[in-house]
Structure 1
Amino acid sequence: MKILQVINNFSRGGGAEKVVFDLAIALSCHPNIEVSILSIQKPSDGEYVEEIKKKYGINTFCLSNRLKSFRNLFALKEYLCDDYDIIHVHLFPALYYISIAKMLFNPHATIVYTEHSTKNKRRTKWIFRMIDRFIYSRYNMVAAISSQVENNLRNAIKSNKIVVINNGIFVKQILDSPQLDLKRELSLSENVSLVTMVARFVKGKDYYTLFDSLMLLPNNVHVVCVGNGLLFDAAVEYVTRNDIISDRVHFLGLRQDVVSILKASDIIVLSSEHEGFSIAMLEAMASQKPFVASEVEGLKDVALDAAIYFPYQNSSVLAERIIALLNDSNLYYSMASKSIQFAYKHDMSVIMEKYYNLYVEQLSIKK
């Protein structure tokens, strides 16, 4: 079976990009599958693409230097008319490109889409909902990464061709990763407790509630922020202007050793407006640390009792949850145990088999 994974920009750092990367690796280990990756826009990190080719034998193709261009549509003809059994697509606008290219160049192509988002702006406008319904209808099947994502999408596009397949990670890879001596790197004493959040600095990722909760926590509690984004500088300025927390928040930027940082942390927090099915959540849980999350779509309905929750943007309750974990060792280790159990249920080997079965099913229908 020959599979092409398609994504907007195959680069390091993004959640969907990590899913494509890990899924491609898992699929490449299957004896019946040959997998390649197509990046609509040429990634800025060419070494990343070469590394994947050398280490895993996975070919990565790049369409153009621009993500949004009509030329991309016609450049896709080569791939739609090739002998791929399945073309598996992730994210918008790749969603639109492949759907339209199928209609133009190969109506018999078998195309599958993974819906990563709980919501998007297109669904707020009637005309875009109508266009979306037409675009999605060209896909043989859509996989939603959570039940909430499925419900929202089903209501928007009125389709029955949707199944739920959660995101996954390589749990053993995380367990085998070394633990960073983060306190030494940050010149902190051993009595410091590290509360870490891994997320981009963009609208919807609520670092500010975590910063505000720190003002209510003991001085030996520090916050570690891993990620970058358009709102990074504004967040740094917010912390710098607050004398109470300015020396207790550590901005690490985009790091390649995220798992090692998580394993060196005491508690992992994800304060977010909404999620699809968070890779950061899975990596935190596989690191065997208690996970504290905002009580929103894509977190509470997904993690269930494997996490502790606080109301969205409620810094005082978040501070209470952190204190409870730090002061109660029974609660701490109970939640850490639930974390790793949850992670094992979403190991990439399990997720890969679900996708493989989906591919086989779609090809059998085609016959």
Structure 2
Amino acid sequence: MLDLAGELHAWIAEGREFAVATVLAVAGSAPRGPGAALAVDRAGTVIGSVSGGCVEGAVYDLCRTALDTGAAVVERFGYSDEDAFAVGLTCGGTIDLLITPVTAGAPARTALAAALAAAAGGEPAALARVARGPAGLLGRGLLVRPDGTVEGGLGGHPELDRTAAAEACALLEAGRTGTVELSADGSHCPGGLTLLVESNVPPPRMIVFGAVDFAAALARAGKFLGYHVTVCDARPVFATPARFPDADEVVVDWPHRYLRRTGTDARTVLCVLTHDAKFDVPLLTEALRRPAAFIGAMGSRRTHEDRDRRLRAEGLTDAELARLHSPIGLDLGARTPEETALSIVAEIVATRRGGTGVPLTGSTTPIHHEPGDRPRPAVA
């Protein structure tokens, strides 16, 4: 739901009543993941999507009904083998949705309004809502901020709020959206109730080292994927905002020195496009010893082999060097800067999502799968 924070926060400020359907869980091939949302107001205005179009009509009706009844519900949609035109996901998966009315007297309105305000303002926060459990608790929520302060409540046992807040904080620290199983008294016994925890965190960082034409194309691609993009180069004549209009910031500094003074985390992407040993080696020595989701370096295979020798001479271990994607990018036969940027972000997405990079045609690998799933060989 927080993906619609800007629009829904405005609806709250205008006093609109609406119902929001949020993806709770998916199985198989479903187009949108947990946290994706669709909202409908009293006038019938629709924003968002939960399935890429497969079940939106039926979800619209469920939202209108929730507005009339004032009751939150959970619904499941799946594929219909008997009727290709029946309400269902024709891609073959299943999707569970939590439909929550946000009306003037709704118990969930306080927490949802606070969560939408925080997300719209770019503040980190986590919203925990009861997605499965006693009917009286369904849809109720609480907002948790990084300092541990809580707004709203789940309306059950006091220990439930405390445990829910602790679980939401843990997912917020990890920047994750997911579900948590609890018992109604707040313990972790399965079978009690399910919380949907949606985390709002700042966008992940992409730091591009090397103010070259490939970097300009990569900055555009990174912004398209939702990254906060920084371009860094030691040469002030090349590292200018005019040359990189799509970057959020352009830094003039030696790459390794900048990396030492800036923050990275488990979502950060580092792309080294300098392919010059005097920049690459000290930079990668620093990069490979700090948290990052992806570290890649541009260059020919000969450049990579020379770089590998130099990095080993700096004392990097096999485990540290195994984190390096070099030469960077998937084999797309790319030639132009734009094609090269596409090959790089394709590898970043594949690494993040556990993709194989092979064509889907002729492959039996699930289209939507979790990182670590083993690909199955293509049918001969």
TM-score by length of 2: 0.32
Q: Determine which structure has greater relative contact order: mean sequence separation of CA pairs < 8 Å that are 6+ residues apart, divided by chain length.
A: 1
Question: If you compute each CA radius of gyration, which structure gives the higher value, 1 or 2?
Answer: 2
Richer in strand (by share): 2
TM-score by length of 1: 0.33
